[in-house]
Structure 1
């Protein structure tokens, strides 16, 4: 915020009073802008949203760039964006968000709502008490501002406080800031400002080229015009010492307004304009003593120890006010000198002016301490651990695609359940075209699973078909790897197809993958044929979607039979279904056929064909039919019989591994032996003539379907992905 004021002040000098209001508002007023960053497809851990524009780079350098550097050392990936370029779509690509010095606006408010709905963590970082005007009113300079500019400044401050309150926790630089922020959020981490690698390198270079000085040089690196009162506090001491020590030189850097009382000593004063931060180490290295005075206010007590750190890195001792972060970080007499009064300032300056050995000793001590505790690469652990604890557990379901199939629907329902139970959930697949999918009115982020784009940490990733296992194998940032086995996919391929071998290998060569299933028969063959012990949870159904307006079938009038399945897949055994209906009386039965992929064969008897029916419309087709014939010989879990029963319809099926765990012949359905066409025809006629049997199948069918409602098995689904303690 001080940097913003400096820009306003510079406008006053360069362009006149009339321009101040316009310039100030351009720097600090919240507004929506049309420019958007091109959305990346890379999934990472943290997005820093920077509220300081390029005209005020200093705060963001310490609190965005340096913190990102800290996190990189601890294997936490990050990105950054200027707050006016934030897009809603970015919420899907990160586990957490850190707003730095951002004011509230409506778009950010909606962004945070969505982030929390997706179980992302939202944090606020600030390095000054610019979150309420009760703090900024302590800055004397603000009283000199024009009323409309002060109003805009105050509005910006209050908007930052508003945004802070919406966040889950905070990050800041000092103890006093932490204490005040705790009035707004429940938890605040102190992560002090640190020196980046580049700062360290530039400071080392300045230190190596440091020259012996023929005068005593003291430096005040003020920063902004708001520090006038701080310098004025020690100015009487400076004047007295300049009278006494004619070889004393005062360096002033920044926007400090030089008091008239110092005009008499202008030959001993060297003024420097603002310099790029890369040149600052060289400038600080030119002085013997660094001055860091602060008047005793709560606002100043919350300030960081940057001035001491920057001087310590080039072995220049600091005399500072015994306040806030200086008091916490400086051991007086050893790594700097702390002053509580004007008399202390005089005593400290005289001591260091007259004792070069003490200057050097304090400078070296400060340098050693700073190298151990204030370099970015040594100080990121607390921040990294804080973020890890704040992240919600995340889980990524890796799909072959989002094309509708039974396996995909199972996976998406698992994703929706895990999101509902507090997990940060995404789905991913190669070359994803969508950015979002919707399940049960829940938005699920879609990520690209291409190599190199999943850079963020992943608590759990779930392969859902054999083709997706390799995506897990090549990603080292996945903590727990799972394979949700929904079918014996080796059998998808006939002899001679090399894919049969590749599919089969995924059940035997992955020792670091935990196997899961939603089918008892899959659980059995994984154990007996591959030695894999896997966790099981029952499969589910959206009962209400199918049960809506469910009615018991009377089979009066023309009886409508539904055949479902892809006739191009041999294991769906659809031909047998049509062999059955071809034996039935044409006048008595109407045949509907539903297939997502293949078209009906020429010899099929089909009165109405449904192709690529959206999942939302499937239930209505079931409701309009009386009997479902399902003749698949291989199913991981067979949904159609369960869905048909939920609508009140009747089921004739071939028993297979995917349906025998819930179908019971004569209780909730009728089963026949595969290939026995006459038996199947007889069972259909039995349904037509035996009313009591139909009623029993109707009641028990509804009961079976209800027990499998997703809402009733949520805990079992969640337990699949929870690691045992």
Structure 2
């Protein structure tokens, strides 16, 4: 077989659930004999890659370098990378859609949300990881996307193995997972509600560069993927209150490590979470409901044991990454045999989307001087040295926990 060249266009190689999934699929394709390149938009170093044990085995290059070569297939994996496709020499282009990413931005950012949504109208072969995304693409954009559910590293996530600390049967330990400073993650809110519920031992696992959180017993920041299971095995209940997801992985990872979860009824939760069977699901935005649910779990050990049993049953039945990536590989093979793309149409669609965005954003900015000031402050902050950025992130996280609104975004 002639070696096929595949290029994944990636926004960032920093630690995130979306990048984790891309690395898993790309590694499998490389193991199957494909020539795989990751073209990355944001700057990165060798240190950026250490969080995932397979990242350093992949060819990762700046996107400008990747554009200098030819490929058999180029796969966009983040809305901004769709607009890069036109600059690549390839007969075929595709789109790996891990969420409806316009939801990442406030409703007031109407032009930006429309720009993101424009990418779902590009005539590309599409694959996604969740049933709700597959249905949404069909209903709103007429796109037929192949479904490939995410797998899990069963060599890493399992009930038995090393732990940071032993679980205490007399006092369930809470783990809050997520980035700070990302409104829809609601990480600070999860910490506040766990404290309000009377949880005495609260840990935080985050990709944010922080070392402490008010009222939290331990903070684990930017932990390598292979070490996260040791943290899960130390905790009993994962509290994950994000309101925008594709198919989130942490609750499933917690299930494999012998714990359960409390989550909002966020899109994609029902891919594997069943309320009152393997976890508790709270109506989105119901802060009082989260507090009541946590109190029920920390006071009623029968419920906790029952949910943990259900979570392990779910984990046992869930596919591993070899199975999931084998399905992704079959989608790649079908796409490579499919029709070629008209590259000129990508230029036209990109120009049209940006023209529409530019017009509508100018109109929006003209309506409010406050918006312009915030944009200028954001641009200034992007030039701060990393040491200052880390200090600012630390203060922001503390402020969110101590003074943030008691409501979900």
For normalisation by structure 1, the TM-score amounts to: 0.42
Residue in 1 aligned with 2:255? 645
Residue in 1 aligned with 2:187? 574
Hey, what's the Cα distance between the residues in 1 that align with 2:54 and 2:308?
27
Partner of 1:545: helix, strand, or coil? Answer: coil
Structure 1 residues 526 and 598: CA distance shift in structure 2, 3 A: farther
Residue in 2 aligned with 1:618? 228
Query: Is there any run of 5+ residues in structure 2 with no aligned partner, and where?
Result: 338-409
Structure 1 residues 597 and 412: CA distance shift in structure 2, 3 A: same
Greater relative contact order (CA < 8 Å, ≥ 6 in sequence) = 2
Residue in 2 aligned with 1:516? 127
Residue in 1 aligned with 2:64? 450
- 1:610-657 CA distances to partner (integer Å, 9 max, x unpaired)? 222232322222122121111111111111101111111121111211
Partners of 1:398 and 1:463 within 8 A in 2? yes
Residue in 1 aligned with 2:87? 474
Q: Does 1:496 align with 2:109?
A: yes
Asked which structure has the greater CA Rg, the reply is: 1
Partners of 1:460 and 1:480 within 8 A in 2? yes
Hey, what's the Cα distance between the residues in 2 that align with 1:634 and 1:441?
26
- CA positional deviation for 1:598: 6.5
Residue in 2 aligned with 1:632? 242
Hey, what's the Cα distance between the residues in 1 that align with 2:114 and 2:228?
35
Partner of 1:416: helix, strand, or coil? Answer: helix
Q: Greater strand share, 1 or 2?
A: 1
Residue in 2 aligned with 1:286? none
- 1:326-361 CA distances to partner (integer Å, 9 max, x unpaired)? xxxxxxxxxxxxxxxxxxxxxxxxxxxxxxxxxxxx
- 1:395-426 CA distances to partner (integer Å, 9 max, x unpaired)? 11111121111000000001011122232222
Partner of 1:516: helix, strand, or coil? Answer: strand
Partner of 1:621: helix, strand, or coil? Answer: helix
- 1:266-300 CA distances to partner (integer Å, 9 max, x unpaired)? xxxxxxxxxxxxxxxxxxxxxxxxxxxxxxxxxxx
- CA positional deviation for 1:500: 3.0
Map residues 49-60 of structure 1 onto 2, 5 A cutoff: none
Structure 1 residues 576 and 530: CA distance shift in structure 2, 3 A: same
- CA positional deviation for 1:430: 3.5
Q: Does 1:422 align with 2:33?
A: yes
Query: Is there any run of 5+ residues in structure 1 with no aligned partner, and where?
Result: 1-389
Map residues 423-438 of structure 1 onto 2, 5 A cutoff: 423-430=34-41, 433-434=44-45
Residue in 1 aligned with 2:98? 486
Partner of 1:609: helix, strand, or coil? Answer: strand
Match of 1:673 among 247, 263, 283: 283
For normalisation by structure 2, the TM-score amounts to: 0.72
Partners of 1:555 and 1:688 within 8 A in 2? no
Partners of 2:6 and 2:71 within 8 A in 1? yes
Partners of 1:432 and 1:446 within 8 A in 2? no
Residue in 1 aligned with 2:372? none
Hey, what's the Cα distance between the residues in 1 that align with 2:285 and 2:195?
14
Structure 1 residues 561 and 422: CA distance shift in structure 2, 3 A: same
Match of 1:461 among 61, 68, 74: 74
Q: Does 1:655 align with 2:241?
A: no
Partners of 1:667 and 1:697 within 8 A in 2? yes
- CA positional deviation for 1:439: 4.5
* RMSD, matched Cα: 2.9
Map residues 198-347 of structure 1 onto 2, 5 A cutoff: none
